[in-house]
Amino acid sequence: MSTADSTAQTGSLVIAVDGTSGSGKSSTSRGVADRLGLRYLDTGAMFRAMTWWLLREGIDVGDTAAVAAAAGRPVIESGTDPLAPTITVDGIDVSVEIRGDDVNAAVSPVSAVPEVRARLLDLQREAIGSGGIVVEGRDIGSVVWPQAEVKVYLSADPDARAQRRTAEQGGTDVASTQQSLLERDRIDSGRATAPLTMAEGAVHVDSTHLSLAEVIDRIVELAQERRA
């Protein structure tokens, strides 16, 4: 099937890609969106952007009440071009800053605050709009857009995830990275509001022994099957 034919068939499609940190959600989701001519939304970047803003404002991210009170203040905007996604806060491009160690250490507790999730949920649903988008995160198929035509839960074993994340960050301490990822899993899976879980009706794709191209192919096939 040609790219043009694929785009015509999937123009209003919503593909929800959930899963654990380091399982390849971002690269996979961008690749799928590009192949199918769809937009792309990284919801994790939105939580990171909120976290970056809180840290810049000097707000104690461990103070749930303070975080909740401030959650409505920053203007967060996400660009949806899969080849050049952007994220801005109050007009400032923070694409690089949100990947820093300080944000990495603080994003999980911020993400667990219900008022933060509610604020960003509204922005995420607004971005999805009439569809034609691949959305990645941890609760897309279960909370953000449970009516998504294609739901995928992407995972990989902890060692593979740690190897990939360490390589992405240009580091060498795989053991420390793995410990950090597992702690993130624990927090995300155990939070009271919108925990990390495999949504009802989702297809589980284990990327441990698959190449990026193979994972993209699998999800593209699912999308085409839904619209056949």
Q: Is the pLDDT of residue 168 over 80?
A: no
Confidence at 147, pLDDT banded by 50, 70, 90:
very high
pLDDT in tens, 196-226: 778 899 999 999 989 999 999 999 999 999 8
Does 25 belong to an annotated binding site? yes
Q: Where are the alpha helices (DSSP H) in the chain?
A: 3-10, 25-36, 43-56, 64-70, 101-111, 114-128, 158-168, 174-190, 212-226
Q: Is the pLDDT of residue 28 over 90?
A: yes
Does 19 belong to an annotated binding site? yes
Q: Is the pLDDT of residue 5 over 60?
A: no
> What six digits make up the tokens of 212?
């990026």
Annotated domain spans of the chain: 3-220
Q: Tokens 């975080």 — which residue?
A: 67
Does 7 belong to an annotated binding site? no
pLDDT in tens, 69-120: 999 999 999 999 999 999 999 999 999 999 998 998 999 899 999 999 999 9
Q: Is the pLDDT of residue 6 over 90?
A: no
Q: Is the pLDDT of residue 61 over 80?
A: yes
The whole-angstrom separation of Cα 43 and Cα 17 is: 10
pTM: 0.86
Q: Is the pLDDT of residue 4 over 60?
A: no
Q: Tokens 């996604």 — which residue?
A: 85
Does 166 belong to an annotated binding site? no
Does 24 belong to an annotated binding site? yes
**What's the rounded mean pLDDT across residues 164-172?**
76
Amino acid occupying residue 202:
A
Does 79 belong to an annotated binding site? no
Does 211 belong to an annotated binding site? no
pLDDT at residue 119 in the model: 98
Superfamily of domain 3-220: P-loop containing nucleotide triphosphate hydrolases (3.40.50.300)
